Structure 1
Amino acid sequence: MSADSPDQTFAGHVAVVTGAGTGIGRATAVAFAAAGAHVLGVGRREEPLKETAALHPGIDVLAIDICGAGAPAEVIRAAVQCWGRLDYLVNNAGATAVMTLADTDERTITDLFALNVVAPSLLAHAALPHLRESSGTIINLSSTYGHRPMPGGAHYAATKAAVEQLTRSWALELAGEGVRVNAVAPGPTRTDVLLHAGLTPEATNDMYAYERERIPTHHIAGAEEVAYWVLRMADPAGRHATGQVIAVDGGLELV
C-alpha cells in the first residue's frame, strides 16, 4: 500500500509495530498508516525510526529496547496514552543467528529467546486488557523455518517454532474473548536481518541466490509483500480466522 492509498480499513484504529525501523516492520507501519491507523513504531535505534516516521504522518515512534525491564508495559502504555485504545499488536522485532551446534554459545541462545519469544510474550501480556476492550488482534511474525528444519540455524528455528505454538495456544485461549491471534511466516525476504546476524554483503547475496533457486516461484520477497499479509490478517473483515500461520514464502515450505 502506498501512503496515498484510498483504503481506510483501519481508520481510527491503533497499531503497535515492533522492529519498525527497517524491513518488514517499517513496511508494516507504513501500510497500517496508509490505511488509516495510528501507528506506534517501536525499535532500539532512533535514527531508523525517524526515517520510518518521515514516510507517513500517521506514524509516531518510540526508541526502546523491548527486552529491557519494564519495556513491554511502557510500549503499550505509550500507545494507549497517545490514542486511548489499542487494536493491533504486531510482534515483528526479532533476530536470527547462523550458529551450528558445534559453535553454540549460551549468550546467543539466551539473546535469541529473549527477543524472539520472551519480549513478544510480555508485549502481548501488557496489551491484552486493551485488546479485550477493542476485540483486537495479535499478529506474530514467524518464519518458514518455524516449521522446517534449518541446519546451522537450529536455535533461530526453535524460537520461531515457539512463536507458532504461542500463536495457536493464545488463539484458543482468547477466542471466547473476541481477541484473535495469527502469525505470518515469511520465507527469505530482502531486509538487513542477515547483515545484523554477521553475514557480509557478499555472503548475504550468495544466500539470496541460493534461496531463490530453492523457492518454487524463484522470487525473494520484498518487505511490502509480507506487510500486505500482516494487514490482511489484521483486517476486521477476517474476524473468523484465528490461530493460523500464513506462509508467505513462494511455496518454499512445500519442497
Structure 2
Amino acid sequence: MKPGQQRPVVLITGAGKRVGAAIARTLHAAGYDLALHCRRSVAEAEALAGELEQQRADSTLVLQAELANIDALPALVDVLLARFGRLDGLVNNASAFYPTPVGTATAAQWNELFASNAQAPFFLAQAATPALRDSGGAIVNLVDIYAERPLADHPLYCMAKAALAAMTRALALDLAPVVRVNGVAPGAVLWPSEGKTYDDQDALLSRTPLKRSGSPDDVAGAVLWLLRDAPFVTGQILPVDGGRTLSV
C-alpha cells in the first residue's frame, strides 16, 4: 500500500463469532479495515474488535442491528461511510439455522429464516451498491451446499439459501461490470452450536471425498480470494466442502 493510500473496507454481517469471526481475522490480516456487524453477540464482536485494534489501531467499527428490520440497513452503510469514507466489500455471513419439519413449520419461522438468509442480504447489498460502485468493490454471500442438496427437516432454511444463491447470480448480472458478486457454499466446517445436531457426524464425513471436516479458516480464505484475488470471477458459488457435493 502506498503512503497515504486508504485501506480497503469490508462490512461483515454476523461477525462476532464462528465463521464470521474467522473471516474478520483473515481479512484484517490481509490489510482490510472492518465493520463488524452483530445482532446479539455484542460482547463477542467488541472483544474481537479489541483484539484486532491491538494489531492495527483505528481499523474496526462494531455495528449492532437487527437485520430483519429493512429500514435499519441503509443506516449501517451510512455509519460505516461516516467512519471510513469508503466501502470495498460486503460479506453477507449472518444466518439463522434450525429445523422446520413439514407439518410443524410456522409463518414466524419462515419470516426469520428468510429474513436472515435472503431478505437482509438483498436489501443490505442494495444499500451498499452506490459505495461499492464508487470503489469497484465486491459482494460475497455465504450460501450453503443445502441450497442445492436439501437437508431433511430443514425445508425453510434450504429454500432461503436457494433464494440467496439465485440472488447472487442475479446481482452479479445487474451490478456488472463494476461490482462483482459471488458466493461461498461451505460444507462441514463447524457443527451447529444449538438446535439440530447431526446424529452421525462420522457417517457424514465418510461421504466426503477428503474424509474430514474443514475449518472456518477454509471458508475465510475463499472469501478473501473472491474479494481480492479474483477480478475476473462473478456470479459464481464456490463450494468449500471437501468434495462433498460430488457424493451421491
TM over 0.5: yes
Partner of 1:85: 86
Partner of 1:229: 222
Aligned length: 237
Letter in 1 for 2:42: E
- With the length of structure 1 as denominator, give the TM-score of the two structures: 0.88
Q: Matches of 1:185 and 1:218 in 2, distance apart?
A: 18
Q: Matches of 1:59 and 1:227 in 2, distance apart?
A: 18
Partner of 2:185: 185
Partner of 2:137: 136
Partner of 2:203: 210
Structure 1 residues 99-128: Cα deviation after superposition (integer angstroms, max 9, x where no partner) = 211222221111100111111111001100
1:95 offset after TM fit, Å? 1.1
Would the aligned equivalents of 1:117 and 1:163 in 2 still touch at CA under 8 Å?
yes
220-229 or 65-74: which moved more? 65-74
1:211 offset after TM fit, Å? 2.2
1:53 to 49, 52, 67: 49
Would the aligned equivalents of 1:25 and 1:93 in 2 still touch at CA under 8 Å?
yes
Local SS of the residue matching 1:149: coil
Structure 1: 5+ residue stretches without partners: 1-9
1:60 offset after TM fit, Å? 2.3
Local SS of the residue matching 2:69: coil
Letter in 1 for 2:49: A
Structure 1 residues 70-100: Cα deviation after superposition (integer angstroms, max 9, x where no partner) = 2211111121111100000000001112121
Letter in 2 for 1:151: A
1:42 to 26, 37, 42: 37
1:11 offset after TM fit, Å? 7.0
Would the aligned equivalents of 1:18 and 1:92 in 2 still touch at CA under 8 Å?
yes
1:213 offset after TM fit, Å? 2.1
Partner of 1:16: 11
Q: Matches of 1:220 and 1:211 in 2, distance apart?
A: 9
Q: Matches of 2:90 and 2:239 in 1, distance apart?
A: 19
Would the aligned equivalents of 1:14 and 1:88 in 2 still touch at CA under 8 Å?
yes
C-alpha RMSD over aligned residues: 1.7
Residues 153 and 207 from structure 1, CA distance in 2 versus in 1: closer, same or farther, beyond 3 angstroms?
Answer: farther
Q: Matches of 2:6 and 2:214 in 1, distance apart?
A: 27
Q: Matches of 1:180 and 1:122 in 2, distance apart?
A: 16
Would the aligned equivalents of 1:11 and 1:35 in 2 still touch at CA under 8 Å?
no
Partner of 1:6: none
Partner of 1:105: 106
Structure 2: 5+ residue stretches without partners: 54-58
Would the aligned equivalents of 1:116 and 1:159 in 2 still touch at CA under 8 Å?
yes
1:207 offset after TM fit, Å? 4.8
Local SS of the residue matching 1:190: coil
Local SS of the residue matching 1:155: helix
Local SS of the residue matching 2:51: coil
1:220 offset after TM fit, Å? 1.4
In percent, how many aligned pairs have the same letter? 34
Letter in 1 for 2:10: A
